[in-house]
Chains A and B, each alone.
Chain A
Amino acid sequence: MKSITEMLKPRFWSTDDEVLGTNRWFQNYRRVWAIAVALLSAVALIPLLFVSSMDYRATRNAIMSENLLRTTRTTSNTRRTVSYFLEERRAALALITRTVPEAELRNPNHLREILGGLKAAFGGYTDLGLVDENGRQVTYVGPYALQGKDYSDQPWFRETMDLGSYVSSVFLGYRDLPHFVLAVRFTLDDKPAILRATIDISRFQELLTDLTLSGDGDAFIVNTEGILQTPSRLHGDVLEIMNLPVPERASRTQSDVVRSSEGEPLITGYAYVEGTPFIVMIVKRQAMLMESVNKASERILWITGLSGVVILLVILGVATFMVGRIYDADQTRIKAMRDMEHANRMASIGRLAAGVAHEINNPLAIINEKAGLLRDLFTFRDEYKGDDRLVGMVDSIINSVERCGTITKRLLGFARQVDTYMAPLNLPGVVREVLSFVQKEAEYRSIDVQVILEDEIPSVVSDRGKVQQIFLNLVTNAFHAMEDGGSLDITIRRTNDDMVELMFSDDGCGIAPENMERIFEPFFSTRKQTSGTGLGLSITYGLVNELGGEMDVASELGTGTTFIIRLPIGSEAN
């Protein structure tokens, strides 16, 4: 049983130089195949890979920039919200400084009322205090006892006095609660004073925690030193130092990809809140955002891979098929060339043989006549008569000449076999022509020769000389097989399948069954002792085959033999 590789292996694969022989101009099929496969694969697969990788990159970039843009927008909105929240509370303080009379600000009872109003209206306020130009808290309302506390050495006091308003970073302060300070400067009794409020970060925090963010997003605020101002989920709690680098100061909202301390890429949007130490930050995990892209690219990879495999298979199939066809065509060509070479060689040998035979026949004829003359002299002249030894020698010469003659005739016969000229033939006509050759013999031996035509015989395209040779051989054979007074019937008829059948039936001695199988073998003859060369029937058989016909024999010992020849009608085109 053949293995699978053996079955898949194309015919041309194992062609080696030996098979190609001298026909060097034919291809090395394996190389042709490899080149074809390589070229086709390159042409088909490179654009495919190129396009799919381009597509992958384009999709990835688009989604990436879309994500960055969305983060920027969210960050920007959050910054605006935070900014508005702070501005709102600062504005409330500013309103109080302008509308509430000075005496009432100094009165703790009044100030408590104001704080109550602020808490109800805005929320987030923890306490409220009035600080004079020396940094002493003149009035304080709130949960702690901070009345009279001196803030003059604190940085927020200096800054408020310089800038007019101030927002502090978140700190624990005396109260141990994360909060930040909001302060505004105003003029009290023609002297500068500060209204100071503490705001706890819970309201502040809500602004950020309420945001719904994609990609496991985290929104929080840090100050410029990187200390978290609101708790974050992933990057530390309030007042801890953020585990991310502090982004550079920028007037506009920015977003970028930042690597976390573990090396994970994070899409980070940030915005500095103007006039405060706060930076709003939104951090998303890139991996989660790009998950859809990865899924899509995985699909693209699959499709690309599959189509690549299909293309490769098709290319392999097509290349194998085409090279196989080339191989077959070349094989046919080689065979045709070899046949032609053979035919040419045979034709040359034939011409040579004919030339030699003809040239030899003439001198042979002379030897024959001279020897014959010698023999005649021995026969007719008394002075030479009776010398049996000389007569024997002459007879031996004559016999040898006869043998040479047989050989040269065979050579001529061989030469005639070589060239084929196909032309339409009228078979009954050819039979009659051949019969005219043996008519004399038939007459002597009173052999009755009948040609029987069973129906209209179409003309047959064949080689005249060869057909004549075939008929002559068969008729001669029949004559040899028959006693004087025998009869030979030649029946010609058309068979159904575009053949013309000729039957040469004699009533001669027949062929012994044990000889039947061998009669077409060269050099097989039952007349070997007399004159047969044993070539007649084998030559005939070869000729019939050459003309595309068939030859059969039926015989019964003592009753006669029938040789059946079937010749194709053929067309002149062939």
Chain B
Amino acid sequence: MSEKVLLIDDEPEFLESMGERLKLRDMDVDSSTNISEALDKLAAEQFDAIFLDLQMPGTNGIESLKMIKKLYPDLQVILLTGHASVEKGIEAMKLGAMDFIEKPADINVLSEKVKKAQAKKMILVEKATEERISSIITGKSW
């Protein structure tokens, strides 16, 4: 089963090669260069994980993260940034980011994170399914 990943970064070159590399590792990769495009894609499909650049021209990474988390609380967001500070990292983690990685990052680390994200997502999905089942079970009068 391939993991579905969305990359959000303002550098098309970076997106292109990273996308290709992840694809080589049997992942289903989509990418967008700005937040609004990303939001459209998120609305259209389900993703196991998204990589979000914290510093993109025109948008505040933390604000974007907040917005995404508000719309899709279960979505696993991995922050990828060139300007990492412990403070920013902690702030992001508090807002519900799954992880915080400094650029340039090792591809193996990244793919591992994706796998973990997918596992988490699976657990969440299972949980949700269970909840639905139990609600159906309790909701219906047999």
Q: Which residues of A contact B (CB under 8 A)?
A: 354, 357-358, 361-362, 364-370, 372-373, 376-377, 380, 401-402, 404-405, 409, 412, 416, 433-434, 436-437, 440, 464-465, 468-469, 472
Contacts and interface: CB of A to CB of B under 8 A. Distances in A.
B102 A369 contact: no
Residue of B17, B104, B105 contacting most chain A CB atoms (<10 Å):
B104
B27 interface: no
A445 B89 CA distance: 22
A376 B104 contact: no
B83 A412 contact: yes
A365 B103 contact: yes
B72 interface: no
Residue of B14, B86, B87, B107 contacting most chain A CB atoms (<10 Å):
B86
Interface in B37-96: 55, 82-87, 89-90, 93-94
B85 A361 contact: no
A536 B142 CA distance: 65
A405 B104 contact: yes
A405 B82 CA distance: 9
B82 A437 contact: no
Contact of B18 (A361, A369, A380): A369
Contacts of B99: 440
Interface residues of B, number: 28
B93 A369 contact: no
Interface of B: 11, 13-14, 17-18, 20-21, 24-25, 55, 82-87, 89-90, 93-94, 99-100, 102-107
A63 B84 CA distance: 99
B103 A468 contact: no
A366 B17 contact: yes
A540 to B, nearest CB: 13
Given A433-B90, A464-B87, A367 B21 contact: no
A462 to B, nearest CB: 13
Contact of A361 (B21, B83, B100): B83
13 contacts: A358-B82, A361-B82, A361-B102, A365-B14, A365-B103, A369-B14, A372-B21, A376-B107, A412-B84, A434-B90, A436-B90, A464-B87, A472-B86
B80 to A, nearest CB: 8
Contacts of A412: 83-85
Nearest to B18: A369
Given A405-B104, A437-B89, A369 B17 contact: yes
B14 A366 contact: yes
B54 to A, nearest CB: 11
A361 B104 contact: yes
Given A361-B83, A369-B17, A412-B84, 12 more contacts: A358-B82, A362-B82, A362-B103, A365-B104, A373-B17, A373-B24, A405-B104, A436-B93, A437-B86, A437-B89, A437-B90, A468-B87
A283 B90 CA distance: 114
Contacts of B86: 416, 434, 437, 465, 468-469, 472
A362 B14 contact: yes
A169 to B, nearest CB: 128
Contact of A409 (B11, B14, B84, B94): B84
A405 B84 CA distance: 12
Nearest to B14: A366
Nearest to B116: A440
A368 B24 contact: no
A362 B11 contact: yes
Contacts of B20: 373, 376
Contacts of B90: 433-434, 436-437, 468
